[in-house]
């Protein structure tokens, strides 16, 4: 019998911490945050997978400068690796001019394949970039991976916070455990050193309080973050000293505190038996 894939609902040994990143609406920086946290976790020495499950609005391949279909080997899809992160996206299997219309059952099947038929190689963390809002994708993820956590990304203004809260409640109904909040675009630091709250203030904190979970980070608005994402790079890798990179590194550390990597099973060592 072929070995069971490590990430699988039928495999009792799977130990990967699965963290879905969700948001109420698009454009709040969910994918940017996901990519940088994944890269930060890899820099901290963890093995990391990134599943882009934003089937309609995938942006991870572009953000990581990836294109072309992954190869298969040993009956498994081999995920390309960027910044030490193994990545799979539906965007690697479709092209921009010919999008796939994903519907319930097919979507469910595709996500199952991306969990079970990819050589994730038993990572410490698997981050899942969800589509905005919640729905079929979250339900499927929760079904395949009971116990998966969700982090909600929001911007600071009250209106965004309410939409994010709805997404959080819906995620819990579909079986994901909301574990934390990340506030993005929290402020812009001017040349005068002052913080300018472009999108208001306090939304992340108040959302975290309402959901009863910790606020993991407040990430500033920094044009370089967008520029690097557009170039297929990541702030935490290219400019680790910047304020946003520090905040993203901090978010990754908080995440590890909250959801520590599970210990690896002790490998069974069989020593060769020599004569005498």
Q: Which residues bind ligand ADP (CB under 6 A)?
A: 23, 26-32, 59, 184-185, 219, 221-222, 225-226, 229, 244
By CB under 5 A, residue 155 contacts Mg ion: no
Of the pair 146, 231, the CB lying nearest ligand ADP is at: 231
Which of the listed partners (ligand ADP, Mg ion, none) does 221 bind, with a CB threshold of 5 to 8 Å by partner kind?
Answer: ligand ADP
Can you tell me whether residue 254 is helix, strand or coil? helix
Strand runs labelled E in the chain:
17-23, 48-52, 72-73, 76-77, 81-82, 85-89, 125-129, 149-154, 177-184, 188-189, 195-196, 215-219
Taking only Cα atoms into account, the Rg of the chain, rounded to an integer number of angstroms, comes to 19
By CB under 5 A, residue 184 contacts Mg ion: no
Q: Judged by CB under 5 A, which of 31, 174, 184, 233 binds Mg ion?
A: 31
Of the pair 57, 175, the CB lying nearest ligand ADP is at: 57
Can you tell me whether residue 268 is helix, strand or coil? coil
The span of 58-66, 96-104, 161-169, 258-266 binding Mg ion (CB under 5 A) equals: 58-66
Return d(Cα 154, Cα 180) in angstroms, integer.
11
The phi-psi region of residue 29 (left if phi > 0; otherwise alpha if psi is between -120 and 50; otherwise beta) is left
Nearest approach in angstroms of CB 220 to ligand ADP is: 6
Nearest approach in angstroms of CB 155 to Mg ion is: 14
Of the pair 143, 238, the CB lying nearest ligand ADP is at: 238
Return d(Cα 219, Cα 155) in angstroms, integer.
9
- Positions in the binding site for Mg ion (CB under 5 A): 30-31, 59
């Amino acid at each position: 019998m072929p070995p069971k894939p490590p990430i699988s609902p039928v495999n009792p040994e799977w130990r990967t911490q699965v963290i879905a990143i969700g948001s109420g609406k698009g454009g709040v920086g969910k994918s940017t945050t996901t990519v940088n946290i994944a890269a930060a976790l890899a820099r901290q020495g963890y093995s990391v997978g990134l599943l882009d499950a934003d089937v309609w609005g995938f942006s991870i391949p572009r953000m990581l400068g990836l294109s072309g279909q992954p190869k298969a080997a040993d009956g498994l899809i081999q995920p390309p690796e960027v910044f030490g992160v193994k990545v799979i996206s539906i965007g690697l299997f479709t092209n921009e001019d010919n999008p796939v219309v994903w519907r319930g059952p097919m979507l469910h099947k595709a996500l199952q394949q991306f969990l079970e038929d990819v050589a994730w190689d038993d990572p410490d963390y698997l981050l899942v970039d969800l589509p905005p809002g919640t729905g079929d994708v979250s339900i499927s993820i929760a079904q395949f991976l009971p116990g998966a956590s969700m982090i909600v990304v929001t911007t600071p203004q009250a209106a965004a916070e309410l939409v994010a809260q709805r997404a959080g409640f819906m995620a819990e109904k579909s079986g994901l455990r909301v574990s934390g909040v990340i506030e993005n675009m929290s402020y812009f630091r001017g040349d005068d050193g002052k913080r300018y709250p472009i999108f208001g203030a306090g939304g992340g904190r108040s959302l975290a309080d309402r959901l009863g979970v910790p606020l993991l980070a407040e990430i500033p608005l920094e044009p370089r973050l967008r520029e690097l994402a557009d170039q297929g790079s990541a702030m935490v890798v290219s400019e680790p000293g910047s304020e946003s990179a520090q905040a993203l590194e901090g978010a990754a550390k908080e995440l590890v505190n909250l959801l520590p990597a599970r210990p690896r099973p002790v490998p069974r060592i069989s020593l060769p038996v020599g004569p005498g």
